[in-house]
Amino acid sequence: MKELEKKELDFLLNSIRDIKDFPKQGIVFKDITTLLNNKEAFGLLMNHLHDRYKDSKIDFVAGIESRGFIFGSALATKLNVGFVPIRKKGKLPFTTIGAKYSLEYGVDEIEIHTDAFRDIEHANVLLIDDLIATGGTANAAVNLIKTAKANCVDACFLIELRFLEGVKELLKHTSVYSVLKI
């Protein structure tokens, strides 16, 4: 599968703004809004992901709330497949299945509709989000996809924070592609 050249990777990385001490002291937040409002950067990213996945026989793209919705719906359109939102508990209107995951101080839960994959037996699903840090949400999302009797063929992230090793556990369940590794 096609990889981006260093010049392209640098362009994408430089289109993301760092916000120091957000949401709390000591955190450097990666603000992707500056990539999204840069048509060249967003176009480069979407074209790259389309080229990477266009021959992968994907039936659906599933995006994790909320920034995964942006990348996921844009990519699903380019791939001509359906988009499935993975949302926080209580946000979807129909019957759902959920998966819990650990946070620093507690537990949270994400859900999908029970009919998210439209009764396509063993649907091939690409999971996408903007960032993987510790991997808790991504692992829960892969478990949701499996519980819904679909196959997560790959988990894709714009940014991987390598020092947090979130990909390590995820690789036990699916392949992972991170555009930018920080």
What residues are annotated to the active site? 67, 104
> Order of strands, edge to edge, in the sheet holding 96-103?
96-103, 106-113, 82-88, 60-64, 124-132, 151-160, 176-181
Q: Is the dihedral of CA 23, 86, 166, 50 positive or negative?
A: negative
Give the C-alpha separation, 180 to 10, whole Å. Answer: 9
Specify the amino acid at residue 143: N
Q: Report the half-sphere exposure of 100 (CA within 13 A, side-chain side).
A: 4
Backbone angles phi, psi at 170, to 5 degrees: -60, -35
